[in-house]
Amino acid sequence: MENFKEMKVTYVNPNGLKGLNIKNYSSKEIEIATTVLKRFGFQCPIVTDNNENVVFGDLLLRAAQKLGIKTVPTVEINNLSKKEIKAFSVAINKISEMGDFDLSTLKTEIQDLLSDMEIKISPEELGFSSIELDNLLFDCSLDNKQSLEPEQEEILPDEIISTVKTGDLIRLGNHMLLCGSALKTESFVNLLGADKAKIVITDPPYNVKISDNVTKQKHHKEFVNASGEMSEDEFENFLTESFNNLKVFSVDNSIHYIFMDWRHIGEIQSAGKKVYPKHLNLCIWNKLTGGMGSFYRSQHELCFVYQNGTGRHINNIELGKNGRNRTNVWDYKGMNVSTRQAKTLRKLHPTVKPTAMLMDIMLDSSEYDDIVLDCFGGSGSTLIAAEQCGRQARLIEISPHYCDVIISRWEKLTGKKHEIISNGEVING
């Protein structure tokens, strides 16, 4: 007990300290430590010997040097021999790694902090990478097999209240929805302002008549655009215009996931070549059961994966390094199964995508709180998926009715109410 002495904090130039280098830190780890230090400042000192060698706190030193901090707090060990200081350095660095988080408690604490608008903290400021946070908060160790979204209270078409008008901008928690055209630049400006999307997931109309081709249910109206009335050239131009807007309003090297029916492979490939510098892959959604059809019943849809650039893009898969084992064939139940929920969702929209599939796409190539852009919002599955995995959805949907569907689905899921925004002011609150 005689080794316990009162410690004195001294402020020194960090560039005069010599790093311990007993541990290796990746550039990402140094970046996260820098973010933490920038947010909170020095709340504990660096431990040194009397020759300005770091005994404990090497990562904080590197972060301070990266930030260009002029002075850092230090505590000097002056009651141990050189060999004892070396031994203490090994011991203190080792015991700092001990213990495991109570994951349930940690998850609750982090969710509370991230949702607290007063503190407004990011995952990196808590010391977590986005991938680590996703793995903690969401079930990311998945293969390609998933089912439908969690059971929800049934929503019938005649329960949906008509409130949306063309041009309306609607706030749904952290998400925004605009009732407008994907072909108009002003739609994206009104929706996003100065922001840009980090990932695009969208499901354009397939230029196929809904009646008899997609469903026999008579209550579904034909889509406003590209519902079988366009020629090949017209449909290609339609896709090209929307893709150009998606490119302009997303960040460089963002990944764009665009679904398409097999009948229009030619048009989407031609449009994609005109707009995107890189075609990364072609993914197949295997619905596990066949749909309508006379010769071969269709059991799949295509997802064209483009990159808005040619540089490095977000890759949370990394060949399974982070627990995600993914191929370009995605097995998720389609809406042709005879479940209560599937029947409900089919009543809302003729081409609903499984929320679980869209969540997995977001977890593959975006980070927590990133903006996900969908300019063909449909029934809002992209928004529902974003709500469930901590992303911010930005949707454009041309049909006021389907905007009402999106609002109803989100309100049923969250228990919250939407707000209609005009000139930055809430006009229905």
Taking the C-alpha atoms of residue 245 and residue 286, their distance in angstroms, rounded to an integer, is 29
Taking the C-alpha atoms of residue 268 and residue 230, their distance in angstroms, rounded to an integer, is 14
CB 389 within 8 A of CB 363: yes
Reference 208, options 334, 272, 289, 293; nearest CA is: 293
Residue 45: DSSP 8-state: P
Residue 260: DSSP 8-state: E
Strand 371-374 to strand 392-397: parallel, antiparallel, or no bridges (unpaired)? Answer: parallel
Task: Domain 9-95: give its CATH code.
Answer: 3.90.1530.10
Q: What are phi and psi of 307, to 5 degrees?
A: -120, 130
Confidence of residue 291 (pLDDT cuts 50, 70, 90): confident
Reference 368, options 40, 67, 140; nearest CA is: 140
The SS3 of residue 303 is strand
CATH class of the structural domain 148-426: alpha beta
CB 406 within 8 A of CB 387: no
Taking the C-alpha atoms of residue 73 and residue 46, their distance in angstroms, rounded to an integer, is 6
Taking the C-alpha atoms of residue 326 and residue 356, their distance in angstroms, rounded to an integer, is 14
CB 386 within 8 A of CB 199: no
CB 350 within 8 A of CB 160: no
**Residue-by-residue DSSP string for 172-209:** ETTEEEEES-TT-HHHHHHHHTT--EEEEEE----SS-
Instruction: Show me where the domains of the chain are located.
Output: 9-95, 100-137, 148-426
**Tokens 């400006």, residue?**
189
Confidence of residue 151 (pLDDT cuts 50, 70, 90): very low
The alpha-carbon radius of gyration of the chain (Å, integer) is 26
Reported as a single tens digit per residue, the pLDDT across 164-211 is 999 999 999 999 999 999 999 999 999 999 999 999 999 999 766 655
Confidence of residue 340 (pLDDT cuts 50, 70, 90): low
**Residue 193 burial by Cβ neighbours in a 10 Å radius (0-12, 13-18, 19+):** exposed
283 vs 325, more confident: 283
The answer to whether residue 148 scores a pLDDT higher than 50 is no
Confidence of residue 424 (pLDDT cuts 50, 70, 90): confident
pLDDT recorded at residue 147: 47
Residue-averaged pLDDT of the chain: 88
pLDDT recorded at residue 425: 82
| Alpha carbon of residue 276 to chain centroid | 21
Reported as a single tens digit per residue, the pLDDT across 16-71 is 999 888 899 999 999 999 999 999 999 999 999 999 999 999 999 999 999 999 99
The answer to whether residue 226 scores a pLDDT higher than 80 is no
The residue type at 298: S
Alpha helices, DSSP H, located in 286-396: 340-348, 355-365, 381-388
Starting at the edge strand that comes first in sequence, how are the strands of the sheet with 329-332 ordered? 145-146, 329-332, 278-286, 300-307, 250-260, 197-202, 371-374, 392-397, 175-179, 169-172, 419-422, 425-426
Task: Summarize the confidence of residues 12-16 as an average pLDDT.
Answer: 96
- C-alpha distance from residue 51 to each of 11, 198, 245 (Å): 15, 47, 60
pLDDT recorded at residue 413: 93
Segment holding 107, helix H or strand E: helix 103-115
Segment holding 72, helix H or strand E: strand 72-76
